[in-house]
Amino acid sequence: MLVATFGPATAWEGREIIWDVDHFILVGHGAIPAEGVLDYDRLGQLVWARPELRSWVWAVSRWESGRRAAAGGGSPSTAGTTGAAGSSASPGRLPTWAIVVIAAVIALVVLGGVAAALVIPGVVRTTESIADDVMVRAGAETIHAGIESYALAHGGRYPSEGAVDPVGLAGYVSWWPENPYSGGPMADGGGEGNFRYDLSPDGGAYRLTAYGRGGRVILELSGGTDTSV
């Protein structure tokens, strides 16, 4: 499955990054980790085959990092990653949730036409729902990491309510997650594809709640020591 191609401002214009069973391949070079794909994206070098694939690659990167850490492979931020010319061994078989997302993305790419949607509308709706909710979870985890990074830089104080957005967490979140339901950025306040950020009265703890299809709660994350939030 095509994931992304290198843009016209790069020496590798048109070169493809694809997904092959359980790992990414830089065509003409070899296997690369998900974090390597994201490194190219941070440099502004990639053109994504579909916008939602960025969130999916981020989720795969999180899984790869957790797997390396569990195996004692060193720091998740460095183990298994390579430079622009490096490569990495296949990370192994993905867990069930990742396989479901891959199936959903492929279904959306292959079945994207109106005619296909009319033939198997139930399947398309189901795969869309699964993929979109997984992307919301991945986005919430990105925001959660940004909140914790902010606290580390501010003596354990968390962002104020209303400040958890691309401006308030600038420098702590490298790219702001998209709401797969609206197509815009994920936003505070709740609702389908968004999140809600609640801060304790003393600013020392918070709860981050993510909402999936239909506005149902699909993930709750928290931090700090105050249990009153």
Average pLDDT over residues 39-48: 90
User: For residue 116, is it within any domain?
Assistant: no
93, 127, 146 — which closes off a domain? Answer: 93
Lowest mean pLDDT among 83-92, 162-171, 194-203, 218-227: 83-92
For residue 106, being part of any structural domain is answered with: no
Residue 52 near residue 40, CB atoms below 8 Å: no
Residue 105 domain-assigned?
Answer: no
Q: Of residues 146 and 58, which shows the higher confidence score?
A: 146
Q: How many CA atoms lie within 13 A of 53 on its CB side?
A: 26
Q: Is residue 78, in this structure, part of any structural domain at all?
A: yes
- Shared domain for 89 and 144, answered yes or no, is no
Q: How confident is the model at residue 215 (pLDDT cuts 50, 70, 90)?
A: very high
pLDDT band at residue 127 using 50, 70 and 90 as cut-offs: low
Residue 116 scores a pLDDT above 50? no
Q: Which residue has the higher pLDDT, 85 or 33?
A: 33
Name residue 49's amino acid: A
Per-residue pLDDT at 228: 57
Same domain? 18 vs 86: yes
73 and 145 share one domain: no
Q: Structurally, how many domains does the chain consist of?
A: 2
Amino acid at 144: H
Q: Where in the sequence is the domain holding 74, given as residue range(s)? A: 2-93
Task: List, in sequence order, every residue forming a beta bridge with 4; answer none if it has no partner.
Answer: 17, 48
pLDDT at 119: 46
Q: Which of 67, 93, 119 delimits the end of a domain?
A: 93
Which of these three, 75, 93, 111, is where a domain ends? 93
Predicted confidence (pLDDT) at residue 106 exceeds the cutoff of 70: no
Q: Who has greater pLDDT, 52 or 176?
A: 176
